[in-house]
Structure 1
Amino acid sequence: MKTPKTLFLAWQDPNTRSWFPIGRLTFDGMSYQFVYTQGVKEAQQKCGFEPLSSFPELNKVYTSTQLFPVFSNRLMPRSRPDYSSFIQWLNIPEHEDDPIAMLARSGGQRETDTLTVFPRPEPDSDGRYHFHFFSHGLRHLPQCAIERINLFVPGEKLWLSHEFQNPYDSQALTLNTEDHYIVGYCPRYLRSEVFKLLWQDPSLVDLRVERVNRPPTPLQFRLLCNITAQCKDGFRPFSGQEYQPLIEEDMILETML
Structure 2
Amino acid sequence: MKTPKTLFLAWQDPMSRYWFPIGRLTFDGRLYQFVYTQGVTEAEAKCAFQPLSSFPYLDEVYTSTQLFPVFANRLMSRSRPDYSSFMEWLNIPNDEHDPMTILARSGGERETDTLAVFPCPEVNTQGQYHLYFFSHGLRHLPSCAIERINQFESGNKLWLAHEFQNPYDAQALILTTEDHYIVGYCPRYLLAEMFDLLQQNLNLEVQVERVNKAPTPLQFRLLCKMSVDASKDYRPFSSRHYQPLMAEFARSHPCS
Whether these two folds match at TM > 0.5 is yes
Range with greater deviation from structure 2 (213-222 or 229-238): 229-238
Which residue is 1:101 aligned to? 101
Which residue is 2:150 aligned to? 150
Which residue is 1:239 aligned to? 238
Aligned counterparts, 1:185-224, within 5 A: 185-201=185-201, 204-224=203-223
Which residue is 1:85 aligned to? 85
In the TM superposition, residue 125 of structure 1 has moved relative to its aligned partner by 1.7
CA distance in 2, matches of 1:106, 1:37: 22
CA distance in 1, matches of 2:109, 2:9: 10
Identity of aligned residues (%): 70
Which residue is 1:177 aligned to? 177
CA distance in 2, matches of 1:66, 1:41: 27
CA distance in 2, matches of 1:231, 1:144: 37
Which residue is 1:161 aligned to? 161
Structure 1 counterpart of 2:117, one-letter code: V
Which residue is 1:135 aligned to? 135
Range with greater deviation from structure 2 (225-234 or 38-47): 225-234
In the TM superposition, residue 136 of structure 1 has moved relative to its aligned partner by 0.3
In the TM superposition, residue 249 of structure 1 has moved relative to its aligned partner by 2.5
Aligned counterparts, 1:37-116, within 5 A: 37-116=37-116
Which residue is 1:126 aligned to? 126
Unpaired runs of 5+ in structure 2? Answer: none
Cα pair distance change 1:253/1:201, threshold 3 Å = closer
Which residue is 1:9 aligned to? 9
Look up the SS of the partner of 1:22 in the other structure: strand
| Alpha carbons 1:4, 1:29 under 8 Å: kept | no
CA distance in 2, matches of 1:250, 1:69: 22
Look up the SS of the partner of 1:86 in the other structure: helix
**What is the aligned residue count?**
251
In the TM superposition, residue 101 of structure 1 has moved relative to its aligned partner by 0.4
TM superposition score normalised by structure 2: 0.94
In the TM superposition, residue 190 of structure 1 has moved relative to its aligned partner by 0.9
Cα pair distance change 1:250/1:156, threshold 3 Å = closer
Q: Over aligned residue pairs, what C-alpha RMSD do you find? A: 1.7
In the TM superposition, residue 164 of structure 1 has moved relative to its aligned partner by 1.2
Unpaired runs of 5+ in structure 1? Answer: none
Look up the SS of the partner of 2:51 in the other structure: coil
Structure 2 counterpart of 1:172, one-letter code: A
| Alpha carbons 2:4, 2:101 under 8 Å: kept | no
CA distance in 1, matches of 2:150, 2:138: 12
CA distance in 2, matches of 1:57, 1:74: 22
| Alpha carbons 1:7, 1:24 under 8 Å: kept | yes
In the TM superposition, residue 253 of structure 1 has moved relative to its aligned partner by 5.2
Structure 2 counterpart of 1:171, one-letter code: Q
Look up the SS of the partner of 1:94 in the other structure: coil
Structure 2 counterpart of 1:214, one-letter code: K
TM superposition score normalised by structure 1: 0.94
Range with greater deviation from structure 2 (244-253 or 106-115): 244-253
Range with greater deviation from structure 2 (204-213 or 187-196): 187-196
| Alpha carbons 1:197, 1:231 under 8 Å: kept | no
Structure 1 counterpart of 2:209, one-letter code: E
